[in-house]
Each structure stands twice: as structure tokens, then as C-alpha cells.
Structure 1
């Protein structure tokens, strides 16, 4: 069949594919060398579970033959070359990085100094990093202050923007929640920087091995399987944190795929309820989450880094809205977009698609600029700030 993209003629077609594959192969080789020659390349891979930790993993009903499984028949990214995806990667015209600087809250620390009037406030710090202030508790999710979502300091996806809040300016937190061990969610430099704060880390099964290798004391690591929970505080001032299902996968190297678990998180305070998706595809388990714990005052669902060839392990905007409705969410704050180039779509495509469909479906969106604290139950923050980035670039200005 004639390839209209590459033109007719078998020799020309083969030549171009060989060139494309050569470029990809060379890039992979150079990336590998750069990774292993950086100081912490090997350290960032983390560690494998053993001993009592491994026994807890083996007791999970989702752990079989050394790996964790999704419960709903998820399809994972395709193995081997996908020519259509490769063509899109090499020759696609999507603007995958912002054309100019992104708008951010100028003084996040000052905005956070005053407690939330409603008792619930969420600050999006980029990608899936959120500071959730919930009925007197502060919770930090998937913290990444590093420059790259990569084992290397000089190769791999680089941030579009600086963190809107310097790590040293982060207020004291009561817990750090991790969803899984991919590099854009589990950042070794950030974890190491948090060690002196004496905060506890709540993580999926197996992920604690990475943390302990990086200096987190074992007594400050709590691993949970789906539907297990822990509490902070007691009595009327108690926050329940429940590890809830997600549809994804894990791994930090070439040989450890699915060797640790992944999870979403449900936060249940005395007055407010919050859902954090981590990375996930659409799963019927969300209906059970909604039945048990909904409705939620706010949900934070991933909307970016999606592609048909990647199976059903990411939501994208359309399915994020479905998932939000399944868990019985009231307001939706989209995450996992606008910080790293991890996909083939335009950098702002997730926000554009989500906003358009949310209007049609009557879903209340929260889209604050990076670093702006927002109280979901008492204010609106639904401006399409990403469109000003595009407009400013056309005008030759910076927002």
C-alpha cells in the first residue's frame, strides 16, 4: 500500500524509515550514556523490595508472578515499533512546548500564610504536585521540584516553568502522598530534600524501597494496598487517607515493570472530601470509590500525556470528565499537564479539550494559574489562562 505521507517508491520509503529509526536509536543511545554518566543516574533507579516488604506485596490479591496487575483488563502501551506513532513523533507539527513563559502566582508563600476560610484549599504547583489544605491538615502529592522527569540531570523531559513555590518556602506538611514510581511523580532529588522535614510518606506497595534507598527512615514510610487506609489526628479532628484503585503501571528501569503498585488517594476530613487520581486510565473501580466515599468537594484528575497507542493507562480530557462523574465529584481541577512534554499532543491540548467538553456537560472546572491557591467550595477559578500564552506569543509579548 502506498504511503502518501512519505511518498511513493519503495527505496525512498525504506531510506526515510531507516533514517528515522537511526535518529531514534542514536538518541536513545546518547540518552543512555548521559543517564549513566550523571552522578546519581544509578541511584535514581531506586531499589527492589525484599524481606517483610516483599511478603506484604505477595499477600496482595493483585500481585502475581512478581508483578502487580490492574483489575479491569487494562491494555498497556504497545510493545515494538508503532510506525504511525513514530511518524507523529518525528514529523508531527504539534506545538509540544509553550511558545512563551507561563503565568504564575507571584508570591505563593504569602498567599499560603493565611489559612483557608472554608477549610479547604488546593494549590497546583505543576504536573501532579498539589498542596492540599483540608480541615486543618496539609497534604503534599507527588512532589517534583526537579528540573527533569528523568534519571538524568542533563537528559530527559525538562520543565516548561520553574516551580511556582521554592521547595524551601513550602510550609510544613502533615503527609506526603505518592501515587506510583514513575519519574514524573517520584523525584529522587525532591525526596532527598524532604527528608530533613521529618514528614511521613504514604505510598503504594513496594515504593518504600526506593525511599529508604534515598535516605528516608523506614519508620517514616507507610505502604498501603488498595482500600487500605490510615488516619491523621483523632476524634473529631481526624483525616482518613484511603489508597484507592487506579489503572496504570509502574517501573523506573528496563527490568522492573509493574514490580511496585500504583494508587489513587481519597482524603476524608471532618468537613470536606478530596480525590487525587495519580496516573490512571478509566476503570469501573471509580464507581465504587464514588459509592463508598463520594460526593467529593473537589477531584484532581490527570488530563495530559495521552495517546491511542498507549493503551488504557491514561485518561485524557474526555475520560477524565467521565471519571470525575463516576466518583461523584463537584469541582474538577485538572492535573498532569502544562509542566513536561510527555506526549505527542500540543502542550495546551488537554486544557482546551477539557474546557470545551466541560462546558457542554455542565462540569465545574477549576483552572487556576500555577501556584494560585483556590478554595473549591467558595470561589471560581475557571479562566483559560493558557490561551493568553498563545496570544501573547503571537503578539511578541510575554504574559
Structure 2
């Protein structure tokens, strides 16, 4: 298995000959992305690998499509060049992709992909910020869990009940919302 961190949430995973790209973000640094309600984030670093240098991609795993810090303009353009995109059911409707609800599974090559619970914040915020998903990837040799953008809540804790995770890829970002009084700048 190989894991290449490209930047932000963007990661290339190679398991049992299957190449999976998580949350493609390839825009140049400096770009500001609006999330509505007076909130935004600014991209501070560019990708460690250019789209042209990715090689073959068998599928994109997209934790959510509604925020540009997980799917920016360059990443969105990339989607039409890959054979399969797997995301939330809501994202699948918008993108013409494959959608999985939590605990539903599909396969890409010999890798079983299971959607896992994920949530940006409190349950009441989901209608505002939209749904997210994580992914558990089971290959012949190990299980990899991709957290997606999530807080700790009972759903995410159930991942450990269902999978013996060998490797965890955690989305640990620093999106800051100045209007909420959280540390950092807007």
C-alpha cells in the first residue's frame, strides 16, 4: 500500500493495484472560498503533486462536494476524467456520481469501499452545511479508514465496532469561523 498526501484533504491511496484519489483540491494557493453566512476559508498552500502527474486514477472518493476546500474548481474539472466518483447520495445527484449512505458498500477492483458516518458539527447544522461521509477501504492486506470532515459523535464511534482499522487518514483541518467566536480569523 502507498499513501501520498497531496495537500489539505487530498490524498492518493494505492491498495491492491487500485488507485483512489480522495477529495481533489488542486487550485493554486491564495484563493478564498465562501461557505455562506459570512464564513470562508483561504487556501494557504498549493498541492504537492499536479493533476498531470497523478497517473491513472480508478475512482475519486469525495467526502462531500458542497465545500471548495474538499472539491475546488480544478478538482471538479478532474472528475470528468476518472471512471468513477463515489460520494454522498446528495453529492451523487448533483454530480452524476455513485452515492453511498452510511454502511453501504461498493467495490472498485478488489477494494471494498464502505461509506462511514461523518458530520461537520451538531446534527442541527446538517441542513445548513450539508452531508458528509467517511470511507472504510478493505483490501486483502489491511483496512484503511478515511474520516472525512467530521466531529466526534456516536455515528463515527461505530466505525471501530465494525472495522479493525489498520491505518486511519484523518481530516484535521483548521477552517476558522470568526463570527462564531472560535479562535482564528474568518
Q: TM-score range by the shorter chain?
A: 0.7 to 0.9
Structure 1 position 186 matched with structure 2 position 47:
no
Q: 1:248 aligns with which of 112, 120, 123?
A: 120
Instruction: Indicate the residue corresponding to 1:57 in structure 2.
Output: none
Residue pairs, 1:315-326, within 5 angstroms = none
Instruction: Indicate the residue corresponding to 1:223 in structure 2.
Output: 99
What TM-score comes out, normalization by structure 1 length?
0.39
Q: 2:162 aligns with which of 268, 283, 292?
A: 292
Q: Give ranges in structure 1 of 5+ residues lacking alignment.
A: 1-119, 212-217, 250-255, 312-342, 347-399
Secondary structure of the corresponding residue to residue 68 of structure 2: coil
Structure 1 position 173 matched with structure 2 position 44:
no
- Deviation per CA, 1:29-83: give whole Å up to 9, x if none: xxxxxxxxxxxxxxxxxxxxxxxxxxxxxxxxxxxxxxxxxxxxxxxxxxxxxxx
Contact 2:26–2:51 under 8 Å retained in 1: yes
Q: Relative contact order (alpha carbons < 8 A, sep ≥ 6): 1 or 2 greater?
A: 1
Matched residue count? 172
What TM-score comes out, normalization by structure 2 length?
0.80
Residue pairs, 1:1-399, within 5 angstroms = 120-147=1-28, 148=31, 150=33, 157-180=41-64, 181-195=66-80, 197-211=81-95, 218=96, 221-233=97-109, 238-248=110-120, 257-258=128-129, 260-294=130-164, 296-305=165-174, 344-345=183-184
Secondary structure of the corresponding residue to residue 282 of structure 1: coil
Contact 2:41–2:175 under 8 Å retained in 1: no
* CA deviation after TM superposition for structure 1 residue 278, in Å: 1.1
| Aligned alpha-carbon RMSD (Å) | 2.8
Contact 1:149–1:187 under 8 Å retained in 2: no
CA distance in structure 1 between the partners assigned to 2:115 and 2:101 by the alignment: 6
- Deviation per CA, 1:152-201: give whole Å up to 9, x if none: xxxx6443222111111111111101111212012233221341x24210
Q: Give ranges in structure 2 of 5+ residues lacking alignment.
A: 35-39, 122-126
